[in-house]
Each structure stands twice: as structure tokens, then as C-alpha cells.
Amino acid sequence: MNPQRLSCDILIVGSGPAGLAAARAASRSDLSIVLLDDNPRPGGQIWRNGPGVALPGIARDALQVLEHPRLRYLPGTRVVAGASANALLLENAEQALLVQYQSLILCCGARELLLPFPGWTLPGVTGAGALQALLKNGLAMAGERVVIAGSGPLLLASAATARQAGARVEAVLEQAPLAALATFAAGLWRWPAKLGQAAGLATTAYRYNVHVLEALGEDRLEAVRIQQGEQVREIPCERLACGFGLVPNITLASHLGCQLQANAIAVDRYQATSLTQVYAAGECTGVGGSELARVEGEIAGLAASGQTQEAMALIQRRAHWQAFAERVSETFALQPALLRLARPDTLLCRCEDVPYAAVAGEAGWSEAKLHSRCGMGACQGRVCATAAQALFGWAAPTPRAPLVPARIETLLMESSTPGVK
């Protein structure tokens, strides 16, 4: 059985702000475009649609590109493997697809960094971004007590989403010290939109120089133990959302052989990667927020469609938002104490029940997998491998096909398709 075969001039992986901006820019040409995403709805994490979600105007404008007559949108579609001759093997709920392209734009976004600490696997404990996604998909939380902890602007955004859902936000706990936050706030005048955004998300529940020590409870979360300066105290709650930052999603880029730099996809001024006619934009090239993702996506879409002069005109705007991204990275860098929260019996790999002590002495990720089955469960290391890189300084593993769990018939197609890696 052969997969359905499609061809296009430009294939874009990811329909978040970067992918939509790339599609919109490329659509100004007469080229054919295929835009795919593994989520059932477009918009990425920041513009995730769902029951009762009111998207901002900028998101609604961006989504209009999906109606372009020369664009084909493939939601709920995952990349299984790369193929030679400029092709990707894909899978959705119904079938496998082999898409051949002239140019490829990777807008794969980022993943949450989840660091293990005692009790982090209790029901009721999630990532900060995961909490937002659950709420936007209709999770009922009215009246529940919520603590949001970790580092970065995502904490305030998650708190706002929780409040809108009727939750009681007991505390927003930022690990960064006051001096770093004050310096950051003093420089926000350079980005007026961000200054207004910060003012709109401000809450009296916000605390600085505080971090989680342990989630407490028997069958589910009952309270969280925190370190606030020299004081240790407990906060009763039904939900704990921890966001320790984001890491670029480089899985597909690494699989294809793109050059990496500082755990992100390396790109030039046109957002071109080290591979011919392969571009990348957004968080997968370095975490920087939706504004930077959009301008990078636009540059990539213009460059991939031959509109290089128009792309050059956006270089200064990109530099403006890259400067903001650098300030965020410096301000919210994780304190060393957060990398020492796990106890020997704290699970690192939740899928295979592998404790921290079972992998802490290994030389790298491959040895950890061989000796403990770490990363061999349902999530295929998306959580524990990222955590292990932060905790132990291990190099990112090189992904091999299949990149995601796939149906037997799709894997048979992979093995029978000439040139598939």
C-alpha cells in the first residue's frame, strides 16, 4: 500500500505565529504551499483555539492565510521521517502521506522544560504552558486553588488564563531575584507593547526569589512546599503549574541534518539553515516570543519564495525583537538550586518509572537509555531527555526514524519508499 503523494513548492512545518507568518509571506508569490501541524487546530501554543477562547485580532488576521487558494492546510499531521529528494513522510488519523517540496520551512516551536522535583508526578501538577493548553481546551477549574511557579513571562500569562477560567491563583512564584527583575523592568521602555502587556498581566500574587521544593499529597496534589528566601513554607492548593522555561524543538531539524547552535537551529540572515532550500523560523531557532517568531517567519517565507529584497527590509525589526529575547534570557536564567531539587528516588522518566539515581551516574543519554529504559516510553524522551540535558549537561540525542510512534502500515511504507532515511 503506497502513501498518498503530494507535491508543493514550499512545505511549512508548524502553524504557530512563525508558520502562519511564513505562509502569508510566501503566498504573495504564485507558489504552491502546504502547511502542516500535529495539532488539530492552527495557532500554536500562544494562539491555541478552543471552547470559549477569544483569539486576539492579530491571530485572526494571521489565520486568514489558511483560506488562500494555493495553500493546503494539513492539521493533525505528524512528521514520521525525512526522505531524500526533498520529501517528508507524514501520518494523520486516516493515512500516510509523502510530501515532496522545493523548499522547506521549519517552524517547529519549542517545548516546556520540566525539571523533576519530589511530587512532580502527582495528579494536579503540570507545566505552566500545559495548564494553559488544558484550560483553552475546556478544562474546568472554577474555584480551584492554583500555584504557578518557575521562571519567565509565561508564569504571568498562565496565571491570567487560570483567573479567566475562575481559578483562585494563590501565588505566582518567580525564581529570579529582585535585582534582575528590576533591571529588566527598567529597560522595557524600548518595547512599549511588552510594557503594556506586563502591566495588564500584573498580579498581587507575584513573588520573586521563590521556588518550589516539593509537591505534597497522597493520591493527588494537596499542597506545595516552597523556598522563599531563607523561609520554607507550604501553600495548600489543588493545582500546581511549573514553568522552568522553553527549549527549541530541534527534533526534525536534527534528524534532517541541519547545523545546530546552542541547542537551536542555526540560521543566516535569511533564516536559511545549513541545508540547501531549508529554512527555519520561530522558537526552534531560539526562544524569543511571538513578535520575534512572526518577523522571522515572514523573512523565511519571503526568502523561500524568492522575495529577498522584501526579506532584507525586515532585518532591523528582527534585531529589535532579538534584543528583547536576549534580555528575557538573561533575566530569567535558572538559579543552580533548581537543578538540585530531585532526590535519588524522584522519577526522572515518568513513562518508564526511572528514578533520578538510576541515570545520574551515566555518561550520556544513550547509556542512560541502555541501562534504564529512560526515554523509551510513550513520550519518547520529550520530557526526560530535555530535563537530562539541563540537569547533567548531556548532548541532545540524534533523532532516528520514526520520529513519533506511527502505525505499522506507515512504517512499512517508510521501509518500502525509496530514499527514505
First to last CA, the chain: 19
Encoded amino acid at 339, one letter: L
Alpha-carbon distances, residue 4 vs 37, 73, 407 (angstroms): 17, 15, 15
- DSSP per-residue string spanning 193-257: HHHHHHHHH--TTEESSEEEEEEE-SSS--EEEEEETTEEEEEE-SEEEEE--EEE--HHHHHHT
Query: pTM for the whole thing?
Result: 0.95
Among the four given CATH numbers 3.90.1150.10, 3.20.20.70, 3.50.50.60, 3.30.450.20, the one describing domain 4-110+247-328: 3.50.50.60
Helix axes 365-372, 384-392, angle to 10 degrees: 130
Q: Where are the beta strands (DSSP E) in 316-358?
A: 347-349, 354-355
For residue 407, how many C-alpha atoms fall within 13 Å in the half-sphere facing its CB? 16
CA–CA separation, 146 vs 162, rounded Å? 8
Neighbours of 217 (CB within 10 A): 17
CA–CA separation, 33 vs 20, rounded Å? 11
CATH number attached to the domain at 116-243 = 3.50.50.60
Encoded amino acid at 198, one letter: A
Residue that has been written with the C-alpha cell 521602555 in this structure: 189
pLDDT tens track, the chain, 421 positions: 566 899 999 999 999 999 999 999 999 999 999 999 999 999 998 888 777 778 889 999 999 999 999 999 999 999 999 977 799 999 999 999 999 999 999 999 999 999 999 999 999 999 999 999 999 888 999 999 999 999 999 999 999 999 999 999 999 999 999 999 999 999 999 999 998 888 899 999 999 999 999 999 999 999 999 999 899 999 999 999 999 999 999 999 999 999 999 899 999 999 999 999 999 999 999 999 999 999 999 999 999 999 999 999 999 999 999 999 999 999 999 999 999 999 999 999 999 999 999 999 999 998 999 999 998 888 888 899 999 999 999 988 788 889 988 898 888 765 555 555 4
CA–CA separation, 262 vs 297, rounded Å? 20
Nearest to 152 by CA among 211, 235, 226, 223: 211
Nearest to 63 by CA among 78, 75, 79: 75
